[in-house]
Amino acid sequence: MFEGKEAKYIEMVEEIGDNHISTSAKTPLRDDAFILSDEEKIRSIKKNVAEILYTLGMDLTDDSLKGTPLRVAKMYVKEIFDGLHPQARPKLSTFDNNYKYGEMLVEKNITVYSTCEHHLLPIVGKAHVAYISNGNVIGLSKMNRIVNYFAKRPQVQERLTMQIVQALQEALGTDDVACVIDAKHLCVNSRGIKDISSSTVTAEYGGKFKEDSLKREFLDYIKLDTEFE
């Protein structure tokens, strides 16, 4: 199936195997990641998914299965991995903090739907994001959108947490940004150890949020009961 350069690339990946190496806060994309159009990627992925199902012994002529390769390909490119494409990045317009609000602003319980890059299984949880204005403020929905953007790609939770903070720091022009994510990984819950009760918590604190008192205040906000009937 793979020839030449692609075969060598796959061989290198297989050598890494289960060694879950994370090299930086940047998503590991190749330089030629966007040479193919979305339509070309969908056609290629469709073929590969069909081969996987066929290898597993599935009858792709069955009415229930014959549309699966195309559905999966479209889902990968247009939906769950849409955050790989730079054009999908939300515009993070900011505004002057004319009302001089100087305390932290917290957007909590932002839904996280992502995909573990080690097994391509779902990560589902909540993100809590906070910042202290340095003269600029950002629309509340933009915080949700930046979480969603970075979540919609193959991810590790540590990198996702850092990317959210770094994107908001850049947009707001301040280091005073924090993010905590609490999520379930189906690669832990549904396979391997099969521990359905455990979840993973990651945090990234920038600027003033590294101070113990401010960090504690942020975590106390997260614990507030804000459910509404």
Q: Domain holding 77: CATH number?
A: 1.10.286.10
Catalytic one of 157, 163, 169, 204 = 157
Based on the structure, what is the number of domains in the chain?
Answer: 2
Q: Is 51 a catalytic residue?
A: no
The answer to whether residue 228 sits within a structural domain is no
73 and 116, same domain (yes or no): no
Query: Is 170 a residue whose pLDDT tops 60?
Result: yes
Domain enclosing residue 30, as ranges: 4-88
| Cβ burial 169-203 (10 Å sphere, 16+ → b, else e) | bebbebbbbbbbbbbbbbbbbeeeeeeeeeeeebb
Q: Rounded to an integer, what distance in angstroms lies between the CA atom of residue 61 and that of residue 34?
A: 32
Catalytic one of 107, 128, 185, 204 = 185
- Name the pTM for this structure: 0.87
Catalytic one of 107, 116, 128, 204 = 116
Q: Is 179 a catalytic residue?
A: no
- What pLDDT, on a 0 to 100 scale, did the predictor assign at position 15? 55
pLDDT in tens, 189-203: 888 888 888 899 999
Half-sphere exposure of 47 (CA within 13 A, CB side): 7
Q: Is 128 a catalytic residue?
A: no
Q: Rounded to an integer, what distance in angstroms lies between the CA atom of residue 195 and that of residue 209?
A: 32
Taking alpha carbons only, the member of 118, 127, 107, 110 closest to residue 185 is 118
Residue where a domain terminates, one of 88, 104, 124: 88
Nearest 5°: phi and psi at 108?
Answer: -110, 165
Query: Is 174 a residue whose pLDDT tops 80?
Result: yes
pLDDT in tens, 43-88: 999 999 999 999 999 999 999 999 999 999 999 999 999 999 999 9
